[in-house]
Amino acid sequence: MNPTPDTPEPLFQAVPGHTRLFRREGGTYYLRAKVPLPLRAVVGKTEIRRSLNTKTLKEALPRVKVESLKTDRLFASAEAKIAGTKPTPAKLSREEIAWAVADFFVKEEARAETWEDRQLPKLDSADKEESDDIGM
């Protein structure tokens, strides 16, 4: 059966090759992950959905990896709670560390770009003389 022409497009479209990466119709990328049935009572949701705050695939790829790691940790914590144990301490692989570092630098770069757009206050003549005294 073919869908009727009035059937709306899905709100999220999957990005091929990435199980948790989706693009919303407005262009923003999201992480989406189904919460496993046994964990839903603890997590309180059927799906985890987090905006990656970007409309470019290049920026979304490292961000979805970091958010995916956070989601996996949430699931591990929920499993431990159900089992009545403490979650095992996270031991990160080299790949997970690389993802976290990439996310850090993406955020730092975005913050630096905003910093460059700010106007600094102008120095008056008294400030200029003071900076000359200290060798600037």
* Residue 114 pLDDT > 90: no
Tell me the CA distances in angstroms from 109 to 36, 103, 104, 114, 116, one per residue in order: 35, 10, 9, 9, 11
Q: Is the confidence at residue 54, as pLDDT, over 70?
A: yes
Sheet architecture: strand order including 12-14? 12-14, 21-24, 29-34, 47-51
Q: Give percent of the chain above pLDDT 90.
A: 46
Range 25-29 contact pairs with CB under 8 angstroms and sequence separation of 24 or more: 27/55, 28/52, 28/53, 28/54, 28/55, 29/54, 29/55, 29/57, 29/59, 29/60, 29/63, 29/64
Residue 136 pLDDT greater than 70, yes or no: no
> pLDDT higher for 77 or 92?
77
Query: Alpha-carbon distance 36 to 61, whole Å?
Result: 23
Average pLDDT for 75-88: 88
Confidence of residue 110 (pLDDT cuts 50, 70, 90): confident
Q: Which pLDDT does position 48 carry in this prediction?
A: 96
pLDDT at 94 over 90: no
pLDDT score for 102: 83
pTM over 0.85: no
End-to-end CA distance of the chain: 76
The token pair at 20 is 């948790």
Indicate the SS3 state at residue 29.
Answer: strand
pLDDT higher at 9 or 49: 49
**Is residue 119 within a helix (H) or strand (E), and if so which, with residue range?**
none
